[in-house]
Structure 1
Amino acid sequence: MEQYEPETLSAAQLAAVRRSVTEGRMAMSRRSLLRATGGGALALGGLGALTGCGIPPAGRTAGTGSADDHSDEEKLLTFSNWTEYIDVSDDNKRRPSLDAFKRRTGITVKYTEDINDNVEFFGKIKPQLAGGQDTGRDLICVTDWLAGRMIRLGWMQKLDQTNLPHAYANLAEGFRTPDWDPVRAHSYAWTGIPAVIAYNEKATGGRKVTSVSQLLEDSRLKGRVGMLTEMRDTVGLTLLDMGKKPEDFTADDYDAAVARLQKGVDRKQIRRFTGNDYIDDLNKGDLAACVAWAGDLVQLQADNPAVKFALPDAGFMMSSDNLLIPNKARHKRNAERFIDYAYEPKTAAKIAAYINYVCPVDGVREELAKIDKKLAANPLIIPDDEFTEKAHTFRLLSGKEETDFEEKFAKLIGA
């Protein structure tokens, strides 16, 4: 079994972190760009916590084990989440799903939007987790690669599935067996995050753009193509277009994908690598086509019918954000009750209607249609069979691969 490497980041990995913080999917709140409310990039002060060597190897951590559960006597749940990642009332004063949970259970949710970037958040909670201490959080929501890392370190609690009947029954098939938590012993998905191809039909002269090959080789798109600064999405889509599976690829496959992208840079086919700052350029047509995140497209399409998306025949990339309970959390059963509540279709529909990412809950379509029929029919929120069949995930990387691959990708994008 692979021994987990200490969390010492190479120069390339630090560059990748900075890209994620300032340009990536989580650089601003999920809806702030689309609402044109500003919202500045995050500071990098949290990075220092990740550059030390104080994390013990997997299986030898002081953080293993649960605390006494105080759920019975303390009707409280402390939940850390991303900005704009749960439903909010029209006046922005209430969170209807949390209010309904309290009315039903008597449990007050102390809800904090204190996750702005996976690495930054990991830096906040790492000292407590490594020291076997309570992080002050009963429930957290992080992206799959970080979830897998913390599970491997022994820092997340196993869930009691008897407290999760709705979650167990309603978890959609495509989310059931991630390689980093194969039987969902420690986690349940909050949302799915597809990376697909988007294009502005006016900018392409009415032509569809449906493949990475078109992005990289169609001369009519030259200088108007965008690719993402997120390595797993950009390289993953390129691997798929080359007939390789991102779940099972070699270092040589990776190098070939990067070399193909480099040709697109050298020929000036690719205009730039972006985070979600592609939104304005795609909307205006300055980018004719790009790799994009589905949650952005749902909002863009509502305002600009010229914006279209395509699921490449070769497949597309899917990641997920996930709910986990840290070791030493004081209210484990309360957290499990909330996870289960979030997997009831009526609750899931409210959340999906607000955040517009892929809903991991089976049986939600009918409830979502009561809120918005268009959203219920959108495969970027409720996947159809074609969507599910084409979804792929990027495999787990070793510490050595992580360093090597990030260095090569940073060179590609000029970071």
Structure 2
Amino acid sequence: MTFTRRALLGTAGLLSLSACGIPAAYVPEERRAGPDKSEQDKSLQFSNWTQYIDTDDKGGRPTLDAFAEDAGIEVSYTEDINDNDEFFGKISPVLAQGGDPGRDLMVVSDWMAGRYVSLGWVQQYEAANLPNVAKYLDPQLASPAWDPGRRHSVPWQSGITGIAYNRKALGRELKSTADLWAPDLKGRVTLFAGMDEAIGMLMLAQGADIATFTADDAHKAMALVQKMVDTKHVRRFTGNDYTSDLASGAAIACQAYSGDAIQLKAENPDIEFVVPEEGGELWAESLLVPNRAAHKTNAELLIDYYYRPEVAAELAAAVQYICPVPAAREVLAKSEDPETAALAEEPLMFPTDEMRARLRTMRDVTAEERPDFHKVWGNVAGV
């Protein structure tokens, strides 16, 4: 089963800074940089999630190994991110105190990246070091509300929160989030347990602009879910285990990630993934350079390398998430391997224009909003 970073969260996002024991101390831009040792020390510390890079039968990482050889930079690649909040709790004491985090690059979900940016705990990129990013970054991901112009973040991979369902078992097509509340789906629907993962799609269903949503928009969406919980319409709230509910038939329809859908459909052709008519949330997991990182320039070289279309194509073929480099599609289409070439036509890796028209990106939940939202959502979802 496809490993899903966002779905690991479960109750992720429920911790506030104070709950982690970390003061919400903003660091101004001029205090973020440390001495950059990139020129004299050709190395780089890179923290990422597990199974989120291409590998070969010998245990190598072909794209990363090629970068190291090409650039002459030794990359220490660590798969030490298992949960956004857990990793935040690990690294934030050092960042809050202005220390060296021991990492030059890290990948976190955009809602969490927004927290780092708002705290001033990550550095601004040097645009001159990222020409491929400027040229090839998907315009739909180029300027999230929490980081306008992507000055502090660059997408690693992307995905959609939408609906997965068993069309054969249901006997009809689902087109909208509102369809989840049909009477014959009572007790057969699951939603995500994490508020940050669930609420964007739910607000879109009620007509909210999630790039600028208000507290009223969030409470309205949560009130509807509470009603569905009270009437036992919602079977349960899930993490990555929504895939097993769908596979077993315990659930017929659920909130789902596009990154799982290709594998789900391969295992059961009756499973469909749909971006709701009212809209689905487009998200990314992004590369950040933390404050005081010792090899910022080396990190920027690696980021820009992964925005070469041929490299982006190789990574996308391995992980099969939405590729943040649309030009990689042409590279895949020219592959001599029919299976690889077919990926160029996979809309869950390269969304169609019609699908893109329904995709929206969500602003971050602010530190001021988070305690109230999580208190209400915790009561609704029982987390």
1:127 aligns with 2:93: yes
Query: Does structure 2 conserve the Cα–Cα contact (< 8 Å) formed by 1:24 and 1:274?
Result: no
2:116 maps to 150
Tell me the C-alpha RMSD between the 2 structures: 2.4
Rounded to whole Å, the distance in 2 between the matches of 1:65 and 1:264 is: 46
1:311 maps to 275
Letter matched to residue 389 of structure 1: A
Rounded to whole Å, the distance in 1 between the matches of 2:101 and 2:117 is: 15
Deviation at 1:224, TM superposition (A): 1.0
Rounded to whole Å, the distance in 2 between the matches of 1:232 and 1:49 is: 16
Measured against aligned partners, the alpha-carbon deviations of 1:359-388 in whole angstroms (never above 9, x if no partner) come to: 111301022232613322112111221222
1:228 maps to 192
1:141 maps to 107
Deviation at 1:157, TM superposition (A): 1.4
Cα distance change on mapping 1:253 and 1:59 into 2, 3 Å = same
1:343 aligns with 2:311: no
1:25 maps to 7
Cα distance change on mapping 1:289 and 1:68 into 2, 3 Å = same
Rounded to whole Å, the distance in 1 between the matches of 2:285 and 2:34 is: 25
1:408 maps to 376
Deviation at 1:225, TM superposition (A): 1.0
- From 201, 206, 214, give the equivalent of 2:179: 214
1:97 aligns with 2:50: no
Rounded to whole Å, the distance in 1 between the matches of 2:306 and 2:179 is: 40
1:70 maps to 37
Where do residues 372-391 of structure 1 align in structure 2 (5 Å cutoff)? 372-391=340-359
Rounded to whole Å, the distance in 2 between the matches of 1:101 and 1:220 is: 53
Rounded to whole Å, the distance in 2 between the matches of 1:328 and 1:249 is: 33
Letter matched to residue 407 of structure 1: K
Cα distance change on mapping 1:322 and 1:23 into 2, 3 Å = closer
Letter matched to residue 187 of structure 2: G
SS of 2:250's equivalent in the other structure is: coil
Deviation at 1:54, TM superposition (A): 4.2
1:193 aligns with 2:159: yes
1:301 maps to 265
Rounded to whole Å, the distance in 2 between the matches of 1:323 and 1:54 is: 22
Gap runs ≥5 in structure 1 = 1-21, 29-40
Deviation at 1:49, TM superposition (A): 8.8
Query: Does structure 2 conserve the Cα–Cα contact (< 8 Å) formed by 1:23 and 1:229?
Result: no
Query: Does structure 2 conserve the Cα–Cα contact (< 8 Å) formed by 1:24 and 1:230?
Result: no
Query: Does structure 2 conserve the Cα–Cα contact (< 8 Å) formed by 1:345 and 1:367?
Result: yes
1:259 maps to 223
Query: Does structure 1 conserve the Cα–Cα contact (< 8 Å) formed by 2:168 and 2:270?
Result: yes
Rounded to whole Å, the distance in 1 between the matches of 2:74 and 2:269 is: 41
Rounded to whole Å, the distance in 2 between the matches of 1:24 and 1:186 is: 21
SS of 1:78's equivalent in the other structure is: strand
Letter matched to residue 143 of structure 1: S
Deviates more, 1:268-277 or 1:169-178: 268-277
1:116 maps to 82
1:80 maps to 47
1:273 maps to 237
Deviation at 1:192, TM superposition (A): 1.3
Letter matched to residue 277 of structure 1: D
Identity %: 44
TM-score (norm 1): 0.84
Letter matched to residue 311 of structure 2: T
Query: Does structure 2 conserve the Cα–Cα contact (< 8 Å) formed by 1:23 and 1:277?
Result: no
Rounded to whole Å, the distance in 2 between the matches of 1:251 and 1:278 is: 28
Letter matched to residue 411 of structure 1: N
Of structures 1 and 2, the one with the larger relative CO (CA 8 A, separation 6+) is: 2
Structure 1 ranges of 4+ moved more than 3 A: 47-50
Cα distance change on mapping 1:249 and 1:332 into 2, 3 Å = closer
Query: Does structure 2 conserve the Cα–Cα contact (< 8 Å) formed by 1:55 and 1:130?
Result: yes
TM-score (norm 2): 0.91
Query: Does structure 1 conserve the Cα–Cα contact (< 8 Å) formed by 2:26 and 2:121?
Result: no
Query: Does structure 1 conserve the Cα–Cα contact (< 8 Å) formed by 2:16 and 2:371?
Result: no
Query: Does structure 1 conserve the Cα–Cα contact (< 8 Å) formed by 2:16 and 2:370?
Result: no
Deviation at 1:284, TM superposition (A): 2.6
Number of equivalent positions: 374
Gap runs ≥5 in structure 2 = none
1:174 aligns with 2:140: yes
SS of 1:374's equivalent in the other structure is: helix
